[in-house]
A and B are shown apart, each in its own frame.
Chain A
Amino acid sequence: MFKRSEQDKRPQVQIFVDGVAVAARQGDTVSAALLASGVDARRSTAVSGAPRLPYCMMGVCFDCLVTIDGVGNRQGCLVPVAEGMQIEIQKGKREIGK
């Protein structure tokens, strides 16, 4: 859906999406890294289970909700990636304990 411009010379950062290593770049938000990675990053909604991807990328739509380092319902578009970060695609509601 998206590709990186060749002029992007930022250092790589390795994150894990559902346990699989994915290359991101320093300064990416979690949502941008997911959309750039080509992995199936569709979450599913709490109400009907419908698949969604980020819509606004600016912190207002909450369609980027994702589990980051064990914490659910994080807005992926507002959180920068960090080396070794563990991302889980959130299916449905946030779970108790996450």
Chain B
Amino acid sequence: MSVAPKREDYDVVVIGAGPAGLAAAATSAEAGLSTLLLDENIGPGGQVFRAISSTPVTERDQLGADYWIGADLVQSLRAGSAEIIQRATVWSLDRNLDIAVSIGGASAFVKAKRVILSTGALERPFPIPGWTLPGVMTAGAAQIMLKSSALVPDGRTVIAGQGPLLWLLAAQILRLGGRIDRILDTTQRGNYLAALPHAFAFLTSPYFAKGLSMMREVKAKVQLVSGVTELSAEGDGQLAKVSYVAGSKRETIPADLLLLHQGVVPNVNLAMSAGVEHRWDDLQLCWSPVLDASGNSSVAGIAIAGDGAGIGGANAAVVRGRIAARAAIEALAPAAAAKLAPMATLRSDLAKAERGRVFLDTLFRPAPQFRIPSGDTIVCRCEEVTAKDVLDSVAIGATGPNQLKAYRRTGMGPCQGRLCGLTVTELMAQARGKTPQEIGYYRLRAPVKPITLAELAAVPKSEADVKAVVRG
């Protein structure tokens, strides 16, 4: 079942089979470049097109037309010569473009002339009191179960947060016969005014009409509470209640499931561990890689496409994948590049796909109290470190996320900072009166996903490797 890569060297290795990765790998293979696509999931699609080849949801309208675009992308990829390996977890990528990948419990090593990272996004941490309780999940988690297993919320369900995904998920749950008791909208009132100057671009983007009709569909069936300024999950070993404040009035409602969402942020772990320079993005409030117009990063040979390059959505991700692949083709097979769509066309496609993004980023900029927790609220889920623990460490001298590891082990659990990194950066920045850019981020290193020592020990070793560590 587990298949190792067929070769040791490839022209292009694409990591991640979401919208960007599917498009990049298909384009690269079509131009005749030897192409390997590595993806961690059971099937291709990433999160947006999750389970696109296997979803049990057969009534197409329920998932929406935007979802099924993924089927065409997978089809054109499979029609080509790209080698595709699923359930392949890349745990190392370095400046020499050497890649280590774990497949079925064994590691394989490949070398690329070009790497296109399309590791996408993950949900922004939503550190409220009680967010580690069983019964509290991300909205994305519920959507993954809906797409891949046709599972929908059944008990008393509350969805809280903001952003386009929240409304899409709510609509999909209702269409599949699931239950939602209440939606708690945490969008800050002031954001509407701030977003106004960017409204024209959004109004003329395809997102506007779709978004509006989806919100209408949901609001007709579910009670919506806007202007939520405080939120907590309560229960003893299991979610029992959701408590919130809206318009200075506190309400507590019984709940079995709380789905949280306040946007997505780039999944930076692999890129950062390869040494790709990232900068703090003040609009999207996350780390984004420094890239040129073709997606090339600060490390020669590594390009980044899709939401990992900064959040742009699925349509933009597809185009970014094509742009990054075209740049690789121009470098490795210029004759083949001449036959592809011109770069200028792709760039204009990208501008179109990114239309309205600034409006969304401004409108759905999460409120400070939902990004920067206080008191006993857990910041680091793996090591169970609270906001107070972090602030206490700052008070006795911790200067940034890397020093904090020595004080509290934040970011040193299995998730490697994916669920706490942004919170730690912003919390420490606030406490020390610095910018997030000044405070910085965890120094990430391979393996970016935990692998067993047994797997590491089984890695083939040269005589020189052995000599380097064995005495005598």
Question: Does chain A bind chain B?
Answer: yes
Partner of A3, one of B154, B237, B383, B414: B154
A28 to B40, CA, bound (A): 15
The answer on a CB contact under 8 Å between B122 and A56 is yes
Q: Is B382 an interface residue (CB 8 A)?
A: yes
How many residues of A sit at the interface, in one of the four size bands? 35 or more
The answer on a CB contact under 8 Å between B151 and A51 is no
Name the CB-closest residue of B to A33.
Answer: B149
Residues from chain A with a CB closer than 8 A to the CB of B149 are 4, 8, 25, 27-29, 32-33, 36
A25 to B383, CA, bound (A): 34
Name the CB-closest residue of A to B178.
Answer: A3
**Which residues in window 350-403 of B have CB below 8 A to A?**
381-384
Partner of A1, one of B56, B59, B153, B237: B153
Q: What number of B residues sit within 8 Å (CB to CB) of A?
A: 51
Q: How many A-B residue pairs have CB under 8 A?
A: 136
User: Secondary structure of the A side of the interface?
Assistant: loop
Known: A2-B145, A8-B56, A73-B450. A55 touches B122 (CB 8 A): no
- Beta-carbon contacts of B54-89 to A below 8 Å, as 1s and 0s? 101111000000000000000000000000000101
Partner of B384, one of A4, A29, A48, A51: A48
The answer on a CB contact under 8 Å between B135 and A56 is no
Q: Is A47 an interface residue (CB 8 A)?
A: yes
What distance in Å separates the Cβ of A87 from its nearest Cβ neighbour in chain B? 16
What distance in Å separates the Cβ of A43 from its nearest Cβ neighbour in chain B? 9
Known: A7-B59, A55-B141. A35 touches B136 (CB 8 A): no
What distance in Å separates the Cβ of B381 from its nearest Cβ neighbour in chain A? 7
The answer on a CB contact under 8 Å between B381 and A63 is yes
**Which residues in window 60-75 of A have CB below 8 A to B?**
60-63, 65, 73
Residues from chain B with a CB closer than 8 A to the CB of A5 are 56-57, 150-152, 176-177
Residues from chain B with a CB closer than 8 A to the CB of A65 are 414
A54 to B87, CA, bound (A): 19
- Beta-carbon contacts of A52-92 to B below 8 Å, as 1s and 0s? 11111111111101000000010001101000000000000
Instruction: Among B56, B150, B176, find the residue whose CB has the most chain A CB atoms closer than 10 A.
Output: B150
Residues from chain B with a CB closer than 8 A to the CB of A63 are 132, 381
The answer on a CB contact under 8 Å between B151 and A2 is yes
* A-B contacts, 30 listed (Cβ < 8 Å): A2-B153, A4-B150, A5-B57, A5-B150, A7-B59, A9-B58, A25-B149, A27-B54, A27-B148, A28-B148, A32-B148, A32-B149, A32-B151, A35-B145, A35-B151, A42-B238, A50-B384, A51-B133, A53-B135, A54-B141, A56-B137, A57-B144, A58-B47, A58-B140, A58-B141, A60-B122, A61-B415, A62-B382, A62-B414, A78-B89
Q: Please give 20 more A-B residue pairs, beta carbons under 8 A apart, in addition to A10-B56, A60-B419, A78-B40.
A: A1-B135, A1-B155, A5-B152, A7-B59, A33-B149, A45-B384, A52-B132, A53-B137, A55-B138, A56-B122, A56-B138, A56-B140, A57-B141, A58-B140, A58-B141, A58-B144, A59-B40, A61-B381, A61-B418, A61-B419
Q: Which residues of B contact A (CB under 8 A)?
A: 40-42, 47, 51, 54, 56-59, 87, 89, 122-123, 132-138, 140-141, 144-145, 148-155, 176-178, 237-238, 256-257, 267, 381-384, 413-415, 418-419, 450
